[in-house]
A and B are shown apart, each in its own frame.
Chain A
């Protein structure tokens, strides 16, 4: 086990490791370029095997199931089988494997990067995160939490759909760059009961129990609970704090993380009820927000809790599919911030807490209309009952900040898809969103040419918005000026070419161009509590190209490679955005192992150098992970995983508003092993 360190010869290490990573990617490449032996044609498969094939359907692009080739978006999937094979432990791990996406980790929260945009210090509020089609971005920060703080264990995911491009025409706020829809497992998918234990480096321990069953009368249930704890890297070195008063820059035993998650889903007939609760506590070793470095008792620490209760009723009445949904979401956040004494006050511990709770009601209809049309229309009503932010300092009992807010939002939307000919689909959607102080209309349009049943070319246009969130509207932190904030806007054009050449090869190429305006940007303002405020001033123009090839080779082998080129420029300064790599390479490769029924899976990614906020840069980052699965008999499965196999050292750019550090070092090689005991199946 090694933690991140900075050494003088770091750059040399990097070079050696990079060449190894390149060798690996080259191996993947050979696999791509080698024509696979012909597989048996579909009619020779058994019916059971036919039912196992994935014909590439997506739900979240139009709120109904449709072939990905016909969807008005460029779509990727990650399935439960892939989550297991590649040993993905968080949604962040999953998204790192997805074409064009990257994740920045500040050793507290994980920030999604997509289409060249990943502003350090942001709260993932430009990605919409759905669980079974239901919004889970909280209503204070608007953030999509993707690390362990997400509150759902990836072992409970059936499938993750990544729908690129703006989708405010269906979903409203936050569907700015992409929508990530997590579809959770049903009883028929779990089909049995199992217990899993894992242990690993960094003092990692995990215990999980899952059970699920589908009964002949249609009743279906799934339950799962997970406990995970990790001590983290024992000694983390931050050169920015290298002084005798701050422990020579070493944060000792301050990198721990613990989470607990429970999940349940019941369905019977037309009704499905999903419930989930997850909590994560994270020690913060980086002394963010100017807290005292290497503070203990108390240490800087954050705790996030998510509760979800969602009832979905859907059935068909004479060819019209009707669904109604009622949900309750609750998000709480607690942050403990120990500050050093200053000339005007003694040592103090700040305790920030946030409560975001909402009820939502939504409904919609889907209907096939004459003239080969597919109509979807719906409404949404959200009652944000709590959007509260509170701050208490240890030297006085009364809170220094106590903001209690609530608000409502309502929306109407419609989308129609017309198959004008066998080879041409036109798709148009529009949504009207009404907030207390503003309203928005978001359109989307697509023209899809089906060159054959296995090939399509799409032109996509979409517009989306992101409303200022309650954190940005916090007048205590940022002054009265934030009351003038308006929603951000984006316009995107995209050209996509997707091709299922046959089962062994699927390819896609996509080029996009977007203009994001009135971006809510942090600027210095000495008159406010946090010395900064937010204004609508950023304008970003970006373009990019994404190429992907996915292969299924004989003997259950799979490979996927993708390359992304992107260029996102801040129009005011005419400079590239920070934390926006020009090139991204991603690869995954899974083959049967030497022993019976085993699989060996390798995944890796490469990010070219990224600018930091102070105009410097961090060197290229690369990681290769290895996971082995070995079933033993019918009831047991052994699992082993090594992350960052080559112990490559790299750092992610950090926000200058939050950190003294310009970048945060990431973990070196880590490993874990686990054992799953299948107590019963079916």
Chain B
């Protein structure tokens, strides 16, 4: 018995399976949001990469690289971009995730994007209320999200009814 738990403890990762840590769940949510959102036709030229940027949270960026590299959004191959500082990070992003800091910082780094078709996301409390599009949070360990409908409209992005139905809308 003891030996078996011991074996379990030291067993290396030999099965590439689900990782349900918080960063992995957040990273997957970014990708899922991209799939259920439509960008204006002029934003993505055919064959262009679909860029998901993660700023300020290396664990989410790592999980993104691990979970969604090699996948596509529509016909576009996903590219993951990471920046440790938000300055200039938004260039070329289709999804911009700002994590792990204060609401003021997160909102500052998306302040120039209000009317551009960039899906802004964060896990910081007060993000959606302050003008970000989607805020991820956890309730009893399970992923939930809030969507700011006015911010969504300004961005000219279209979210599927299914996604909106699962969200808390403000």
Contact = CB atoms under 8 A, between A and B. Distances in A.
Contacts of A321: 125
B144 interface: yes
A interface, by DSSP: helix, strand, loop or mixed? mixed
B20 A43 contact: no
A368 B56 CA distance: 14
B162 to A, nearest CB: 7
Contacts, number: 172
B38 to A, nearest CB: 16
Given A183-B140, A504-B15, A43 B9 contact: no
B5 A319 contact: no
Given A40-B18, A55-B138, A67-B22, A505 B144 contact: no
B17 interface: yes
B141 A54 contact: yes
Nearest to A587: B1
Nearest to A565: B2
Contacts of B46: none
A50 B26 CA distance: 10
Interface stretch (B27-35, B87-95, B110-118, B148-156): B27-35
Contact of B62 (A453, A505, A509): A453
B140 A501 contact: no
A196 B165 CA distance: 31
A541 interface: no
Contacts of A454: 19, 21, 24
A78 to B, nearest CB: 12
A82 B51 CA distance: 40
A504 B62 CA distance: 20
B12 to A, nearest CB: 8
B interface bracket (residues with beta carbon within 8 Å of A) = 35 or more
Interface in B107-161: 124-126, 129, 138, 140-144
Contact of B67 (A36, A43, A585): A43
B104 interface: yes
A561 B143 contact: no
Given A43-B67, A453-B22, 18 more contacts: A29-B1, A36-B17, A41-B16, A47-B36, A50-B29, A53-B142, A55-B22, A55-B138, A79-B140, A368-B101, A422-B58, A453-B24, A502-B16, A503-B19, A507-B9, A547-B2, A561-B4, A561-B5
Interface of A: 25-26, 29, 32-33, 35-36, 38-43, 45, 47-48, 50-57, 65, 67, 69, 77, 79, 158-159, 183, 316, 318-319, 321, 368-370, 372, 419, 422, 450, 453-454, 497, 499-505, 507, 509, 547-549, 561-563, 585
10 contacts: A42-B19, A54-B140, A55-B22, A422-B58, A453-B62, A453-B63, A501-B13, A502-B13, A505-B11, A509-B9
Interface of B: 1-2, 4-9, 11, 13-25, 28-29, 31-32, 36, 58-59, 62-63, 67-68, 71, 100-104, 124-126, 129, 138, 140-144, 162-163, 166
